[in-house]
């Protein structure tokens, strides 16, 4: 009879990490990133906790990964650690162990609960490029529509879904550091998850508008959504301490 594997101790600390995918590294798939990150954990000598079983794995939980090809300043994961450490030391060590373009920006001890549950919305910036006078009209028509159906191939096959319901905000502006227009989009997460390219497809369906060239998609933030202010909360910010009695 095959011997039962040794049971691993549970993590003594959980650290949440925000990282960025920039430049050419935005084309890194989630699978490739997870492999690179596990190697970085070893090089950085992070004291990881491991899963039990015949093939233990470091306890890393990924949440809300951006589509391949999208730049992002707001990717998140959570580490289960075998000993308590300073989160800033973990951040610095991991950032040094990863290539430029995969940049570890922030780390904080988890206060408990589910990280994924805190990622309710995403704020995206779509760099359209060029000056298209019809884009403003397309945005107005999209926002005025009660429903905009789009099609996308998913793991379960071709699906048709309403992309308008997921759009909490859609604003047209100008790029500060390059020519052309930008679309600022706030998308509520759901099933199926509405992506920025679905919004571009929705603009075509609602108003017949399509970008003349490629569109750089950049996620700026993920977190809880404040309906009153339109702000996206930082999921790594700890809740304020309760006042002492």
pLDDT at res. 239: 60
CA atoms within 13 Å, Cβ hemisphere of 34: 16
The torsion angles phi and psi of 144, rounded to 5 degrees, stand at: -75, -20
In the chain, ranges of CATH 3.30.70.580 domains: 13-116
Angle at 125 between CA 113 and CA 206, to 5 degrees: 105
- How far apart CA 221 and CA 126 sit, in angstroms, is 13
Of 96, 105, 40, 94, give the one whose Cα is nearest residue 72. 105
| Omega prior to 192 cis, within 30 of 0 | yes
Other residues' Cβ atoms within 10 Å of the Cβ of residue 105? 14
Contacts of 192 (CB under 8 A, 6+ apart): 152, 154, 159, 161
Residue 240 Cα distances to 44, 86, 110, 142, 190, angstroms: 31, 20, 14, 39, 28
CATH of domain 120-223: 3.30.70
* Pairing status of strand 71-81 against strand 216-223: parallel
Over residues 108-145, the pLDDT tens digits come to 999 999 999 999 999 999 998 766 788 999 999 999 99
User: Residue 242's pLDDT is what?
Assistant: 47
| The predicted structure's pLDDT at residue 120 | 96
Chain centroid offset of residue 54 CA:
31
What is the C-alpha separation between 120 and 117, in angstroms, rounded?
7
What's the topology of domain 13-116? Alpha-Beta Plaits (3.30.70)
Give residue-wise pLDDT tens across range 222-234.
999 998 898 999 9
The pLDDT score that the predictor gives to residue 244 is 47
Average pLDDT, the chain: 90
Q: Which pLDDT tens digits describe the chain residue by residue (245 residues)?
A: 566 666 778 899 999 999 999 999 999 999 999 999 999 999 999 999 998 877 788 999 999 899 999 999 999 999 999 999 999 999 999 999 999 999 999 999 999 999 999 999 999 999 987 667 889 999 999 999 999 999 998 888 888 999 999 999 999 987 666 677 899 999 999 988 899 999 999 999 999 998 888 899 999 999 999 988 989 999 998 664 444 44
8 Å CB contact between 181 and 174: yes
């Amino acid at each position: 009879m095959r011997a039962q594997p040794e049971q691993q101790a549970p993590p003594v600390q959980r650290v949440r990490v925000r990282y960025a995918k920039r430049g050419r590294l935005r084309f890194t798939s989630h699978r490739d990133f997870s492999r690179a990150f596990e190697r970085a954990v070893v090089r950085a000598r992070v004291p990881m906790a491991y899963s039990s079983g015949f093939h233990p794995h470091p306890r890393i939980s990924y949440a809300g990964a951006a589509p391949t090809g999208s730049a992002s300043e707001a990717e998140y994961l959570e580490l289960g650690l075998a000993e308590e450490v300073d989160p800033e030391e973990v951040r610095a060590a991991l950032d040094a162990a990863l290539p430029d373009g995969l940049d570890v920006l922030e780390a904080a001890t988890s206060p408990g609960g589910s990280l994924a549950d805190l990622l309710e919305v995403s704020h995206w910036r779509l760099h359209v490029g060029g000056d298209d006078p019809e884009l403003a009209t397309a945005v107005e028509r999209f926002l005025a529509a009660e429903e905009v159906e789009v099609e996308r191939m998913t793991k379960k096959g071709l699906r048709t879904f309403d992309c308008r319901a997921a759009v909490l905000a859609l604003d047209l502006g100008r790029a500060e550091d390059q020519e052309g227009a930008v679309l600022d989009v706030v998308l509520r997460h759901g099933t199926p998850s509405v992506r920025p390219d679905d919004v571009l497809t929705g603009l075509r369906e609602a108003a017949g508008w399509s970008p003349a060239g490629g569109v750089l998609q950049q996620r700026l933030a993920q977190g809880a959504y404040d309906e009153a202010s339109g702000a996206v909360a930082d999921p790594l910010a700890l809740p304020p301490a309760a006042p002492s009695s």
